[in-house]
Structure 1
Amino acid sequence: MTTPREALGQVWAVAGGDPDALGRVSVSGDDPMLPTDIRIGTAAGAVIAATGLAASEIWRLRTGRAQSVAVDMRAAIAAFRSERYLRVNGRPAPDGRSPLFGFYPTGDGRWIQIHANMPHHHAGHVRFLGCEETRESMAAAVAKWKAQDLEDALNAAGLPAGMVRPREEWVAHPHARAVAELPLLEIVRIGDSAPEPLGVGDRPLSGVRVLDLTRVIAGPEGGRTLASHGADVLLVTSPHLPNLPSHVIDFGLGKRSATLDLRQATDADRLRELITRADIFAQSYRPGALARLGFGPEEVARRRPGIVYVTLSAYGHAGPWRERRGFETLIQSVSGLAHEQGFGGGLGRPQHLPAQVVDHATGYLAALGALVALARRAREGGSYLVRVSLVQTGRWVDSLGRVAGRHLADQTEAEVDDLLATCESPFGRLTHVTPTARLSETPPFWARPPVPAGTHEAGWPA
């Protein structure tokens, strides 16, 4: 069983952080904190502390002044469930999730998860299965299939789904074996450039420009974290790609938002112009998707020597599933976490964890990688590729061990009331979880509220 401190040490080491810096960070609390045996709090506390420490190291490079970092695991848990606590004018934010999302038994006694939260996926699953838009009709259609056959067929059709597997079945899978060879986080130098001083400013990331081409939770969490330390984060969304309303609001904190259609030459050229003045380029498209449009890491680094290119995928960049569409809950389903949470708890069916730990942790790891790469650029120059994936994070979460926690009641909103703040926004009055890491000199905060997609011009302030 891994302690929060040990987990922090693992994350900091794989990022290449200075071991001496660990003496300036503390993590209080321990699992269990939620109704699960999975060490969600340990994972949350470790990655948030590591990211806060990396931000403090950027500050030390800027000013020569070290500062302490503290993370309370109760607050870290709340941060990993931030979308649950989001309120708009005192009411839960509309999430837009499909009623067809979830687990279904198959004809061979197995289970499969259908991911239908995006409108085109919802329509695609209904069309593929030839069913009506009700859970009852979809269940009847799914029951005609064997789980493995349906998983293969749906994914071949570009529809996200995953057969629920126990852990021992997953670790023997060819894709699991392929990603087992990958580290939790990769920071690779991909080009040469002169060192770039971090400049002046009253926050760790003052003056740092981030292009955020991510959606859903993990990638946007990374951008939101960078914004909390003072980065100028420009969210660039596509007009033809959907997102869930609650995610737009919750993970838009601290960001400006522009819309570009990269299929159009003028918009693609505009993004190229933005890249020349950016420090970080973050994207969460499937491996190879942006490269086919001319925005792969090598192309971006040639256009902007010194760029930090962050790529986040579902299933990683190696193995037979590397180009498969995926989401956090599917990682839980295929890798054994949902099987353990449900069947291990005596439910007789799979169940997702009480927090999207893989999503949020991957977002913080993306931010951590970007921060460490920025520090390296300041000291030694170079362009950098940062790679993280949901499946690699899920493997790490699974490795942290277990603690008896199924007996606990779920964390309520009242229990985290002291961790919430309010702000006015174009969506209304928002109640949201505040940044978790406590930096003694530069506490993180979001300087602007979230805005609807396309509110801003695609440009950098003069």
Structure 2
Amino acid sequence: MPTAHSDTACTHFLREFWLALGGEPRYLDHLQITGEGALTSAFPVTDFATAAIAAAHLAVGELIVQAYGTAPAITVDRRLASFWFATSLQPQGWSLPAQWDAVAGDYRAADGWIRLHTNAPHHRQAALAVLNTAPERDAVSQAVLCWKASELESAVVGNQGCAAAMGSALAWREHPQGRAVAAEPLLHRTEAPVGPGGPHQSKPARPECIAPRERPLRGIRVLDLTRILAGPVATRFLAGFGAEVLRIDPPGWDEPGTVPEVVLGKRCARLDLRDPADRAVLEGLISEADVMIHGYRADALARLGLGAERRRALNPGLVDVSLNAYGWTGPWRERRGFDSLVQMSCGIANAGMVAAGSDRPVPLPVQALDHATGYLMAAAAVRGLTQRLITGDGVQVRASLARTALSLLSFTPADAPPAALHPLNPRDYSPDIEHTAWGPALRLTPAGVIEGTPTQWDLPAGELGSVDARWL
């Protein structure tokens, strides 16, 4: 097994990602990795970040080859890739809200550790109801000490909340859900042939679909039904190459700590999918989309009458990319999950604790499972568009945080920390001010550069629900 942070880590991850996407190895020759240093972690997180961002850029490069006949050179800076996995936004004269709710975090239980994820009000209430305590950290700490970690996890999850007991990688490999995830591919691709004539046979061609080389996704409509954090990262990437991204959220939903980071380049609307009229609006949007990226739990859309077969019937040529936290098979396939919880379940936080000689969980320095999966989803969407350009067929792709975690876990924890990254400086940011809905801000310059095809976002970050749910 390779040693973490070795020179082989980035190459290993990149090859694994690109082959999982169905990419041809020859495209790897067009890529150059630059930069030095790494995020401090027991795992090669910087190599992981660099490879994921590189895979998404390779997919755009492949689309350019198919559409324009020339193969562009691609460069990815590992230092900037590391920082994009944290935050790309630097507010000027204002501050982002705290990323975590006051109750969220790791707690010592009677026999180990557990993490409570309480950012959403209904998830916080679910955990507090089980613990029968006030929403105060000290009170929660005392209540958690009375529980065994696995029993509290089951109780909170059973009450529609979000929690994860910390376990080892070995325990996860032996767990029924861990075994199920290990049997899944990193990305599960299903072709959706539509027969002669291609997916847009019944639709009038949009003039903007003939995109210029510098904006290869112009005219591509991306329907974004995702929230924190992987899916929004995917659609932000697509918007950077010209796609029209329309994000849909339910009434009342907000992510104040992350929205300014991830809605760059998007239009944001609201629909209540429990309302038949709003559901009909969504069906209309699906029928006219090129790409749909969604992060609902397994079978959630099916319960709304919008399962995979219905989406294919609405739009046979749709590039349909979906995300689930704990995988698509096994007893936890419908469990609510987030990056920080998956790290606890699959052994990453435990391995970090052991490597650091700590007495508490040590997670990754960034939410790398979310970000890496997001770039893989973006790459899958672009490769689906490339395939559709060639064959006229749609495609369905499934990803999960738990399966992405297994890729990172294939490297043993490092014996020695890598050279630290040089801190950010003003030259790392775009000189142009982004006038977000919350105030002026600077954005990091892109970590990836495609020759002749700059990454640029046409819209600043705006508030959720600020536009009508329709295509331009």
Task: Summarize deviations over 1:143-195 as a string: whole Å, max 9, x none.
Answer: 11111111111111111100101211111111111110111112211342444
How far off its partner does 1:316 sit? 1.2
Partner of 1:57 in structure 2? 62
SS at match of 1:230: coil
Matched, 1:5 2:8: no
In the alignment, which residue of structure 1 is the partner of 2:429?
A: 420
Matched ranges for 1:15-94 at <5 A: 15-29=21-35, 33-82=38-87, 86-94=89-97
Deviations 1:351-403 (A, max 9, x none): 22111110100100111111111111111122211100100111111114443
**Residue 313 (str. 1) matches residue 334 (str. 2):** no
Q: Which moved more, 1:135-144 or 1:423-432?
A: 423-432
Structure 1 residues not aligned, in runs of 5+: none
- What TM-score, normalized to structure 1? 0.94
Question: Which letter does structure 2 place at the counterpart of 1:224?
Answer: R
**TM-score for the superposition, normalised by structure 2:** 0.92
Q: Distance in 2 between matches of 1:383 and 1:403?
A: 42
Residue 435 of structure 1 and its aligned partner are, at CA, apart by 2.5
Is 1:104 the equivalent of 2:107? yes
The separation in 1 between residues aligned to 2:34 and 2:278, in whole angstroms, is 47
1:186-226 deviation line (CA, Å, top 9, x unaligned): 22113424446963334111111000000011110000011
Gaps of 5+ in 2: 3-7, 201-208
Instruction: Give the match for residue 217 of structure 2.
Output: 205
The Cα offsets for residues 261-310 of structure 1, whole Å up to 9 and x where unpaired, read as 11111111111111121100111010000111122221111111100111
The within-5 A match list for 1:349-360 is: 349-360=360-371
Alignment of 1:206-225 (within 5 A): 206-225=218-237
Residue 248 of structure 1 pairs with residue 250 of structure 2: no
Within 2, Cα distance between the matches of 1:196 and 1:48? 29
Task: Return the offset for 1:407.
Answer: 7.5
Counterparts of residues 338-357 of structure 1 (less than 5 Å): 338-357=349-368
**Which residues in structure 2 correspond to 1:45-444 (within 5 Å)?**
45-82=50-87, 86-95=89-98, 97-108=100-111, 110-193=112-195, 194-195=197-198, 199-201=210-212, 202-240=214-252, 242-404=253-415, 406=417, 414-421=423-430, 422-444=433-455
Q: CA deviation at 1:88?
A: 2.8
Letter in 1 for 2:120: M
Contact residue 215 and residue 243 of structure 1 kept, 8 A: no
- How far residue 26 of structure 1 moved from its aligned partner, in angstroms, is 1.3
Q: Select between 334-343 and 192-201 the one with higher mean Cα deviation.
A: 192-201
What is the rounded CA distance, in whole Å, between the counterparts of 1:63 and 1:379 in structure 2?
Answer: 13
Which one-letter code corresponds to 1:438 in the other structure? V
Q: 1:406: Cα distance to partner?
A: 4.2
Question: Cα–Cα, structure 1 residues 346 and 407, in superposed 2: closer, same or farther, change >3 Å?
Answer: farther
Q: CA deviation at 1:405?
A: 5.0
Q: What amino acid maps onto 1:81 in structure 2?
A: A
> Cα RMSD (Å) of the superposition?
1.8
CA distance in 2, matches of 1:204, 1:403: 40
Could you say if the C-alpha distance between residues 416 and 314 of structure 1 is closer, same or farther in structure 2, counting changes exceeding 3 Å? farther
CA distance in 2, matches of 1:400, 1:457: 46
Q: Tell me, in whole angstroms, the C-alpha distance in 2 between the residues paired with 1:418 and 1:401.
A: 35
Contact kept? 1:420, 1:434, Cα under 8 Å: yes
Distance 1:343 1:18 in 2: 38
1:458 is matched with 469
Q: Report percent identity of matched pairs.
A: 36
**SS of residue in 2 equivalent to 1:187:** strand
Q: Which amino acid aligns with 2:452?
A: E
Higher mean alpha-carbon deviation, 288-297 vs 427-436, is at 427-436
2:63 partner SS = helix
Matched residues, number = 454
Mapped to 2, the partners of 1:289 and 1:234 lie a distance apart of 20
